[in-house]
Structure 1
Amino acid sequence: MFKGVSYVVRENVNNLYRIYSIAKYELLADMRDSKLGIFWNFANPVIQVATYWFVFGFVFKRNEIDGVDFLSWLLGGMVIWFFISPCITNGCNAVYQKINIITKMKFPVSILPATVVLKEAFNHLCLMIIVVVLFAINGHFPSLHWFGLIYYFICSILFSIALSLTTSVLNMLARDTRKLILACMRLLMYLTPILWDIKLLPHTLQVIMKLNPIYYLVCGYKDCFFFHEGILFYWKQMLVFWVWTIGLFWIGSVIMYKFRTKFMDLI
C-alpha cells in the first residue's frame, strides 16, 4: 500500500535538480515563443483582475468586504487562484505532454507534475510583486503576519503536486480527464469565495463550501494580508485541506507506481 508513496517520494527527492532544470527550460521556452516574453506573466493576471473588479466592484458596487476595499480583497484571493489554476490544468497534462521523451528513454515519470508546479511558482512570485505594490498603494503594508504566506505557499505547492500526480495518470488512462477538469475549473472559481463573500450563503451551504481545499488557501492568503487571525484560526479547514492533500497524494502515488511501466501501451 505504501510502496507507491515511497517510490514517488524517493524518485522526486533523487531528481530535485532535474525537476528544477526541466521547469527552467519550460519557462524559458514559453518566453522565447513570445516577443514580449515575461511581460505576459504580469499582463494576463492584471487584465483578468481588472475585468472582475469592473464587473463585481464597479457594476455591482461592492466597495468593501470585512473592512477591506474590494480591489484589495479580490486580489488577496485571486493571487493564489492564478497559481493553483494553471497547476491543476497543466499538471493534468504533465505526463501526456512528455510522452515522446518517456517512450524513448528511461525517465522518472513521477517528477513531471512537480516540474509544472515549480514553473508556475515562478509566475506566482512575479504576480506577488504586483500585488505588494498595489496593496501598498491602497494602504496595506507588509507586516510580520505576511510570513504566514510561506506556509500557505508550501501548502499550495504540495496540494497541486498531489492533485496533478493523480490527474496526470488518469489523463493517460482516459483523455477526457483533462477536458472534464477544464470544464470544472470554470465552475470551481465561482464555487470558491474569491469573487464574493461566503457569508452571503446560508450556514449549511457555507459548511459545504468550506470542504473545498482551495477555500483554505484563499482564506489563508487573505488572512495574512488583511485579518491577521493566525494559521490555527482556520483549524477545521486545515484538517480538511490536509485530508484532501494526503489522500490525493496517496492515490496518485499508487496509480503512478502501478502504471509506471505501461505508459507506452496507453498511447
Structure 2
Amino acid sequence: MKKSVKISKKTGIALFVTAAVIMALLIVFHKNPGPAVDQSQELAKKIISCVVIAAACFAFIRWYDKFTGLPVELFQNRHLIWKLAKNDFKKRYAGSYLGAVWAMAQPVVTVAMYYIVFDKIMGNTSTPLREGVEVPFVLFLTAGLVPWFYFSEALNNGTNALLEYNYLVKKVVFKISILPIIKIIAATFIHVFFVCLLLIVAAIYGYYPTIYTTQIIYYSFCLFIFVLALSYTTCAVVVFFRDLSQIISIGLQIGMWATPILWNLDALSPEWIMILKLNPLVYIVNGYRSAIYEKEWFFRDFFSTMYFWIVTVVLFGLGAVIFKRLKVHFADVL
C-alpha cells in the first residue's frame, strides 16, 4: 500500500514564504547586465514586484487551505489523470480514418498559408534580430505559432472541460478538479509534434539543436502551468456564463495580434515594448525563439521571468479559490 506524503500547514507556509523571500531578494539585488537603463524604471519594477510578492504571501497564509487543496488533489490523482488524458486524446479522433492527423493538419495549413502570403507574395523573407542578424521569416513565424496553437487549443479545451464531462461532474465521488488538466495534457500530445516540426524547420535553415534548445522544455512547462491557471477560472465561470466560450474565442483572435507572433517586438519603441510585455505570452513566444535561434538563456531576461511566474502563481491561486467556491453548484447547473 502506497504512503502519501503529507505536509503540515506550518511547513507549507514556511516553504512558500521562504521561496517568496528568496525571489524578493533576487529581484532587489539583481543588476541588469545589459546596457544602461533608466534607474527610476528599474526601481519601480523592483518595488512593484516586492509588493506583489508580499501580497501573495499574505493571501497564501490567509487562505492556505483553498490555495493548496487543488494542487494536492492533482498530485494524489496523477495516475488517473495520465490515464484519462490518453483516453481523451484517443477518443477525440475515434472513428475517423486519419485519426490524430486531423489535429495536426489545420495548424500546418495555417503556417503554410502565412508563409505563402508573407514570404512568397509580400516578399518578407527575413526578420531582423536585435543584433542586426536576420532570421528566415518562416522560422520566425513557426517559432511564434507553435506555442500560440498550444495555448489556444489548451485554453479552449480546458474551459469546456466541465461542460464536456458533465456526466462526471454529477458523480459525487469523482474528483472533478482533474478534468481541466486532463484536457490540457491531451493538447500537449499535439504540441510535442509541433515542437518536432519546429526543430525540423530550424534544421532546414541551418539552425541545428544546441544546449539552448533544451529550454523549449522549460517554456513548454511555463505555458502548461499558465494555461492551467487560467483554465480553472474559465471552466468554473463558463458553467454559469456560457457566453464566456465565445468571448474567449474573440479574445484569442485579438490576442494573436497583440502577441509578437507575426511581427517583431524589437521593432517598436521602448514604451510600447514595456506595455506589450505585460502580456505573459510575450515571455513564452520570445522564449521559444531564443531557444531555437537566439542562443540565450531564460534567466538573462530576469524581470520578465520573475514577472511571468508571479503572474502565473497569482492566477493559479485565484483560479483555485474560484473553482473551489463554485464547484458545489456545478451539478445543479449542469
Higher relative contact order (CA 8 A, sep 6+): 1
Does the 8 Å contact 1:56/1:195 carry over to 2?
no
Q: CA RMSD in A?
A: 1.3
Structure 1 letter corresponding to 2:181: A
Question: SS state of the match for residue 52, structure 1?
Answer: helix
CA shift, 1:249, in A, is 0.5
Q: Tell me whether 257-266 or 5-14 shows the greater mean CA deviation.
A: 257-266
Against the structure 1 CA distance between its residues 98 and 5, is the aligned structure 2 distance closer, same or farther, given a 3 Å change threshold?
same
Bigger Rg, structure 1 or 2: 2
**What is the CA–CA distance in structure 1 between the aligned matches of 2:180 and 2:239, rounded to whole Å?**
13
Q: Tell me whether 124-133 or 52-61 shows the greater mean CA deviation.
A: 52-61
Q: How many aligned positions are there?
A: 267
**What is the CA–CA distance in structure 1 between the aligned matches of 2:158 and 2:140, rounded to whole Å?**
28
Give the structure 1 partner of residue 13 of structure 2. none
Does the 8 Å contact 1:4/1:256 carry over to 2?
no
CA shift, 1:33, in A, is 3.4
CA shift, 1:36, in A, is 0.6
Give the structure 2 partner of residue 54 of structure 1. 116
CA shift, 1:131, in A, is 1.9
Question: SS state of the match for residue 173, structure 1?
Answer: coil
Per-residue CA deviation, residues 137-182 of structure 1 (Å, 9 max, x unaligned), is 1111111111111111111111111111111111112111111111
Against the structure 1 CA distance between its residues 257 and 139, is the aligned structure 2 distance closer, same or farther, given a 3 Å change threshold?
same
Counterparts of 1:49-128 in structure 2, within 5 Å, are 49-65=111-127, 66=129, 67-128=134-195
Give the structure 1 partner of residue 78 of structure 2. 16
Question: SS state of the match for residue 68, structure 1?
Answer: strand
Question: SS state of the match for residue 107, structure 1?
Answer: coil
Does the 8 Å contact 2:236/2:327 carry over to 1?
no
- TM-score norm. by structure 1 comes to 0.95
Does the 8 Å contact 2:219/2:284 carry over to 1?
yes
- 1:237 is aligned to 2:299: no
Give the structure 2 partner of residue 29 of structure 1. 91
Give the structure 1 partner of residue 213 of structure 2. 146
- 1:7 is aligned to 2:74: no
Give the structure 2 partner of residue 167 of structure 1. 234
Which 5+ residue runs of structure 2 have no aligned equivalent? 1-62
**What is the CA–CA distance in structure 1 between the aligned matches of 2:87 and 2:101, rounded to whole Å?**
18
Structure 2 letter corresponding to 1:251: L
Q: Tell me whether 34-43 or 223-232 shows the greater mean CA deviation.
A: 34-43
Structure 2 letter corresponding to 1:135: A
Structure 1 letter corresponding to 2:245: R
Structure 2 letter corresponding to 1:261: V
Question: SS state of the match for residue 188, structure 2?
Answer: helix
**What is the CA–CA distance in structure 2 between the aligned matches of 1:44 and 1:136, rounded to whole Å?**
23
Give the structure 2 partner of residue 265 of structure 1. 332
- 1:250 is aligned to 2:317: yes
**What is the CA–CA distance in structure 2 between the aligned matches of 1:261 and 1:241, rounded to whole Å?**
31
Give the structure 2 partner of residue 182 of structure 1. 249
CA shift, 1:43, in A, is 1.7
Structure 2 letter corresponding to 1:165: Y
Question: SS state of the match for residue 263, structure 2?
Answer: coil
Does the 8 Å contact 1:41/1:126 carry over to 2?
no
For 1:44, which of 79, 83, 106 is the aligned residue?
106
Q: Tell me whether 3-12 or 199-208 shows the greater mean CA deviation.
A: 199-208
- TM-score norm. by structure 2 comes to 0.77
**What is the CA–CA distance in structure 2 between the aligned matches of 1:208 and 1:19, rounded to whole Å?**
38
Q: Tell me whether 127-136 or 205-214 shows the greater mean CA deviation.
A: 127-136
**What is the CA–CA distance in structure 2 between the aligned matches of 1:254 and 1:3, rounded to whole Å?**
9
Question: SS state of the match for residue 301, structure 2?
Answer: helix
Q: Tell me whether 170-179 or 157-166 shows the greater mean CA deviation.
A: 170-179
CA shift, 1:57, in A, is 2.1
Which 5+ residue runs of structure 1 have no aligned equivalent? none
Per-residue CA deviation, residues 54-87 of structure 1 (Å, 9 max, x unaligned), is 2222333212112110011111111111111101
